[in-house]
Structure 1
Amino acid sequence: VFIPAYSGQASTYTLGPGDELLIRVENHPDLTLELVVGPDGYISYPMVGAFKVTGLTITEVKEQLTDMLQPHIPNLWVTVVLLKARPINIQVLGEVKTPGKYSVQQGTTVMQVLAQAGGLTEKADREHIALNRSTGVVGINMKAIAAGDLSGDVVLQDGDTIIVNKGVIRVAVLGEVVKPGVYEILPGSRLMDALAQAGGPTISASVKRISVYQGVDLDKPNPSGEKLFQTTFEQNPPMQEGYIIVVARNHFWDISFVVSILTALGLIKTLIGL
């Protein structure tokens, strides 16, 4: 007994070039044929000739063949099986190890094609992956899928594009650090993680005098910085998007730190393209 791999889709799947079909007429072994839908969308069958199947379901092909063969073979029984579905073309962009175009089998899911693309990078936003298709955008949460919720593992359609954005936050680290600048760190990172990205504190840094600012009005001509809190290395607070971390010197505060904050605001504006 032959069980087609795609029988579950037979009622809705529409045929196209490259699909492989098995057509049988009961008690007529000479009419049992395996056919491939041609680039023009047609197949050719005895007593019928060429007829277009692209856009039809398996059931519709069976009904049309039955109608066309009925004058030649009364009381016939036609079976049409989808032996092998044509591949579909998918594009995967963003934070995967091997972005690009992929040709995959019908029934392939988002999780499967992401695995084929080498998996997500460390910086990938696992909870907000965008699946762009002709009917709109579908949100994919790979973190939930990996935890066992397979209901969100969407079956792909021809022409789908998967976009994996970065799942990072951006902070500026200034003052007494080895490499002042704007850095991308993972969500959940803390103060010491941000300082490590900047090469760590200099020998002149004060471990108890760290000021944290939030960039304000970054989309305006004259952005400003709003001081949020004072902290220490030991407290090691969590970081958020747009934080400006200023590590003071061991001696008195000076105007150069204020200039550094304004510089950071400009760097962040450049980074986010404003």
Structure 2
Amino acid sequence: MRFNADSATPAQTQDGTSVDVNGQHYVLRPLTVAGVNAVTAAPVRPVVDEPAEDVMQSGIGYQYKVGVGDVLHVIVWDHPELNNPGIGAQSGSAIQTGSAQTLAAQAVASSNGGDALGRVVQADGTIYYPYIGTLRVKGKTVPEIRAALTTGIARYVRAPQLDVSVVSFRSQKVYVTGEVKQPEVVPLTDVPVNVADAIGLAGGVTPEADLSGATLTRGKKQISIDLYRLLYLGDMRNNIRLVDGDIVDIPNRRIKKVFVMGEIAKPASLPMPTDGPYTLAEALNDAGGLNPLTSNARQLYLVRASGLNTTTVFHLDCSSPVAVALADQVVLSPRDIIYVDAASVTRFSRVISQMLPFAGGLADLKSLGM
């Protein structure tokens, strides 16, 4: 196996030598000190720009908006008959013993769209409350619901003292998937939930997590999140406040690998680190370096998919120490392929080694008179 640009008809372009092989377009570019900036590491996923107020972590001014399935608890002081009708008026002993009166009260509350703790927001976004009737609460905050109930009850109760609270948050949730210890569905409550909160509730990340490749999917948009900068460098710009339906996904490090092939001491697929850039020199060193007996140091290639049906091949002459220093400035991208060609004498030696057994067989046949 070797790279040979002469295997097809090359065309000289401004970007380098252009070759088309089997429907794939290749561009061969020499890697020099002047052209090292052309080798830029492409992001694994695109970063989607969003307004700062929509994604930042601050909880200032945050108010929970009630949704379908939430359970509201309404208390009207000095009027127990309005506190889930029939339940608030029962004695504690009756509730504990499950008396017939209590069971009847629970049945009445259920028939009115509530449960033993409060009022369940129905599928149409409403609750039923005595004297007021049907009240739409979906999309409203607790203070707004309190004001609406107070206005409605004031027609029957003088100066009502009323309080509303959400006793069960069931309408809104976010999802944490991927390399976390316990993938979790996290309910949203009256306390804002950020990315770090959600990951903590999922038990934290696993050792195989690709921290810099995490994503937040919000509707049809995907936002890149650098968890390494968030968790280890304190970059709170990545601690995005989550909204209903958000999906936080932390991929496996296996996706971010580079491949070192050819005349290398230890050909391998190397996972990229999550704590910074990974250079060509590091990858060569992690693979044991070039094989000093078989490699052609002048023929090192960095192969990178640069578009649909297009591959860019960067050529580096490593026969000089200056070129080795240059390799430390080349930042790799996930799925890059590093290939080192074999020396001419190595190819010749391998051809001879394959011919020797055949020649020996011919000599044996000749000695037998065949």
* TM class by smaller structure: 0.5 to 0.7
CA–CA distance in 2 between the matches of 1:184 and 1:194? 10
Would you say 1:142 and 2:232 are equivalent positions? Answer: no
Query: Helix, strand or coil: the match of 1:252?
Result: helix
CA contact (8 A) 2:217 2:246 kept: yes
Letter in 2 for 1:91: Y
Task: Give the equivalent residue in structure 1 for 2:345.
Answer: 252
Cα distance change of structure 1 residues 11 and 171 upon mapping to structure 2, 3 Å threshold: closer
CA–CA distance in 1 between the matches of 2:302 and 2:262? 13
Letter in 2 for 1:213: Y
Structure 1 residue 22: deviation in Å? 2.8
Task: Give the equivalent residue in structure 1 for 2:31.
Answer: none
Structure 1 residue 138: deviation in Å? 3.9
Task: Give the equivalent residue in structure 1 for 2:11.
Answer: none
CA–CA distance in 2 between the matches of 1:87 and 1:38? 9
Report how many aligned residue pairs link the two structures: 242
CA contact (8 A) 1:11 1:57 kept: no
CA contact (8 A) 1:25 1:76 kept: yes
Task: Give the equivalent residue in structure 1 for 2:262.
Answer: 174
CA distances 1:180-236 after superposition (whole Å, capped 9, x unpaired): 57654435361355526xxx8779556x94743222675476856332231699x69
Structure 1 residue 15: deviation in Å? 0.9
Would you say 1:126 and 2:211 are equivalent positions? Answer: yes
Which one of 235, 244, 250 corresponds to residue 158 of structure 1? 244
Letter in 2 for 1:156: L
Task: Give the equivalent residue in structure 2 for 1:191.
Answer: 283
1:102-113 aligned at under 5 Å gives the runs 102-106=185-189, 107-113=192-198
Structure 1 residue 37: deviation in Å? 1.8
Would you say 1:91 and 2:175 are equivalent positions? Answer: yes
1:25-36 aligned at under 5 Å gives the runs 25-33=76-84, 34-36=117-119
CA–CA distance in 2 between the matches of 1:74 and 1:177? 88
Relative to total residues, which structure has the larger strand share, 1 or 2? 1
Query: Helix, strand or coil: the match of 1:127?
Result: helix
Cα distance change of structure 1 residues 195 and 175 upon mapping to structure 2, 3 Å threshold: same
Task: Give the equivalent residue in structure 1 for 2:159.
Answer: 75
Cα distance change of structure 1 residues 224 and 65 upon mapping to structure 2, 3 Å threshold: closer
Structure 1 residue 14: deviation in Å? 1.6
Structure 1 residue 166: deviation in Å? 5.8
Would you say 1:18 and 2:110 are equivalent positions? Answer: no
Cα distance change of structure 1 residues 123 and 245 upon mapping to structure 2, 3 Å threshold: farther
CA contact (8 A) 1:169 1:240 kept: no
Cα distance change of structure 1 residues 49 and 10 upon mapping to structure 2, 3 Å threshold: farther
Would you say 1:66 and 2:150 are equivalent positions? Answer: yes
Which one of 132, 135, 144 corresponds to residue 48 of structure 1? 132
Q: Which runs of 5+ in 1 are unaligned?
A: 1-7, 257-274
Structure 1 residue 172: deviation in Å? 3.6
CA–CA distance in 1 between the matches of 2:270 and 2:230? 29
Task: Give the equivalent residue in structure 1 for 2:300.
Answer: 212
Cα distance change of structure 1 residues 42 and 243 upon mapping to structure 2, 3 Å threshold: same
CA contact (8 A) 2:215 2:248 kept: yes
CA contact (8 A) 1:10 1:57 kept: no
TM-score normalized by structure 1? 0.65
Cα distance change of structure 1 residues 220 and 52 upon mapping to structure 2, 3 Å threshold: closer
CA contact (8 A) 1:210 1:248 kept: no
C-alpha RMSD of matched pairs (Å): 4.2
Structure 1 residue 159: deviation in Å? 0.8
Task: Give the equivalent residue in structure 2 for 1:261.
Answer: none
TM-score normalized by structure 2? 0.51
CA–CA distance in 1 between the matches of 2:169 and 2:75? 18
CA–CA distance in 2 between the matches of 1:169 and 1:55? 45
Identity %: 22
Cα distance change of structure 1 residues 14 and 230 upon mapping to structure 2, 3 Å threshold: same
CA–CA distance in 2 between the matches of 1:203 and 1:140? 42
Query: Helix, strand or coil: the match of 1:230?
Result: coil
CA distances 1:109-139 after superposition (whole Å, capped 9, x unpaired): 2123234445445564423532122384444
Query: Helix, strand or coil: the match of 2:143?
Result: helix
Structure 1 residue ranges, 4+ long, deviating more than 6 angstroms after superposition: 8-11, 200-203
Q: Which runs of 5+ in 2 are unaligned?
A: 1-58, 85-116, 350-370
